[in-house]
Amino acid sequence: MKTSYEYVDLWNIKENRTRFSDELNRRGVEEFRHSYYFGHVKWFISQGFELCRDMDETLAFVRKARDLLGGYEMVIRQCLSSCRLWMTLFPLDYSACQVKDVSCPAIVERNVAGEDWTVLFRSLEGVLATRRYSRRTVEAYVGWWRRFSKEVNCTPQELSEEHLRIFLEKLVLQKNIAASTQNQVLCALIMLWKIGLGRGEFDGKSLLRAPESHHIPFVLSQDQIRVLLAGASIHWRLLFSLAYGCGLRLNEALSLRIKDVDFERGLVIVHAGKGGKDRSLPFPASLRTEVEAHLLERRAIYTADLHAGNATVDLPFAMARVSPMKASSWDWQYFFASGNLLRHPDSGVLMRWHHLESTVQRNFKAVCRRSGISEQAHFHTCGILLPPTCWNMASLSGKFRLGWVIPTWKRR
């Protein structure tokens, strides 16, 4: 059964995208709206929808997926129109003459290879999910697998160790990737080689390796922290303060639940942090008043959501099935909740999600620009603390007294 993944090669041909844009112009679509139509088609291709003989059946699958994601009806109709136009211009039996200097048999062979790689990637994604790999790790691995499959241009059965070696060394010599990036690619390819293809051990000792980098981390001074917090709005100040006072990474701060801030013991509990590990951190006592005020506002939002039937949140692993009542309990609500209701990317349930990471980063950068702080600063610099000998904790602020937290570069 063919899927929309097979349109990737056609999409990567510039002449095809130009033809699609020309057709939009012929139908009276304004130039500035073309990017929306292009975005809808890229999303359609990336989702791997089943392509039926009847185009309306395919669009029914697309409509169902868009309804789960939510959004305005006008945007959904625009998406369906984009997909219909693309499939009309480039049907499944689309002529291979659009690809220059490639014969028809070669194209057929490449499509078969692409189907084999797609099946392999899907099975490996299931393995990663079973092993509880994080969503970001899965996305990174799948991205490298797809890039590797396009680079080698062969079927999985024809793959050899030499293909892996050439690809890894090319990244070092031509792309100048860092050592950490090469390690990630190597881990992804070893999983592809051993688990996906069932081959033996891959000998990576003789590989050309990228040199280890030793960078001094960028650290904000006490005065810069004061200026940063003073320039932040009340909406973001508590998030920045708690991240700085506890040394939290961005995803750790956003993933905090109400129950994770323990006033009695003076602790902040981080669950499933980097490496899937839990840890406890000292709670800055000077933030107690602000946190209590924040919880009162958060409680009012939770009560309104409860009456509206939108108080459900996502729960880790199988807890939603074992203890479904916890999904709408106060303790499991997100500490830093978003202002708008969002749909869960998997289930499509409308819920009060936490802030999006891009939203936090964008507002942090805006505060830094207004405060005249270096462009090097980003949210994770809030989690990098100088050793205790380099500062006087009590002198930072009478209202902002920090406990000692292990610096980020030593937590790894």
Determine the pLDDT at residue 93. Answer: 59
Tokens at 138, concatenated: 């899965």
Q: Residue 194 in contact with residue 122, Cβ under 8 Å?
A: no
Q: Residue 243 in contact with residue 379, Cβ under 8 Å?
A: yes
Inform me whether the pLDDT recorded for 169 exceeds 50: yes
Least confident of 169-178, 302-311, 337-346, 365-374: 337-346
**How many C-beta atoms lie closer than 10 Å to residue 185's C-beta?**
23
Q: Between these two residues, 400 and 170, which has the higher pLDDT value?
A: 170
Q: Residue 134 in contact with residue 156, Cβ under 8 Å?
A: no
Q: Between these two residues, 194 and 346, which has the higher pLDDT value?
A: 194
Identify the H or E element spanning 291.
helix 288-308
Least confident of 107-116, 176-185, 240-249: 107-116
SS3 for 342?
A: strand
In terms of Cβ atoms closer than 10 Å to its own Cβ (0-12, 13-18, 19+), residue 115 is middle
Q: Residue 241 in contact with residue 403, Cβ under 8 Å?
A: no
**255-300 confidence digits (pLDDT tens):** 999 999 988 889 999 998 877 789 999 999 899 999 999 999 999 9
To the nearest 10°, report the CA torsion of 105, 107, 113, 115: -120
Q: Which of 206, 226, 141, 213 is nearest to 176 (CA)?
A: 213
What are the helix (H) ranges across 27-160? 34-46, 55-69, 73-89, 104-130, 135-152
| For range 176-195, the mean pLDDT | 90
Exposure b/e, 144-181, CB count within 10 A at least 16 = b = bbbebbeebebbbeebeeebbbebbeebbeeeebeeeb
Inform me whether the pLDDT recorded for 121 exceeds 70: yes
Inform me whether the pLDDT recorded for 392 exceeds 60: no
Q: Between these two residues, 90 and 99, which has the higher pLDDT value?
A: 90
What are the helix (H) ranges across 90-134? 104-130
Q: Are strands 261-262 and 350-351 parallel, antiparallel or unpaired?
A: unpaired
**16-44 confidence digits (pLDDT tens):** 889 999 888 888 888 888 888 998 998 88
Q: Between these two residues, 407 and 208, which has the higher pLDDT value?
A: 208
Q: Between these two residues, 197 and 344, which has the higher pLDDT value?
A: 197
Determine the pLDDT at residue 357. Answer: 87
| For range 162-187, the mean pLDDT | 89
Query: Both ends of the chain: CA-CA distance in Å?
Result: 45
**345-354 confidence digits (pLDDT tens):** 666 778 888 8
pTM: 0.61
Alpha-carbon span 43 to 48, nearest angstrom: 9
Q: How far is CA 112 from CA 109, 255, 314, in A?
A: 5, 42, 39
How open is the CA angle 56-57-59, to the nearest 5 degrees? 65
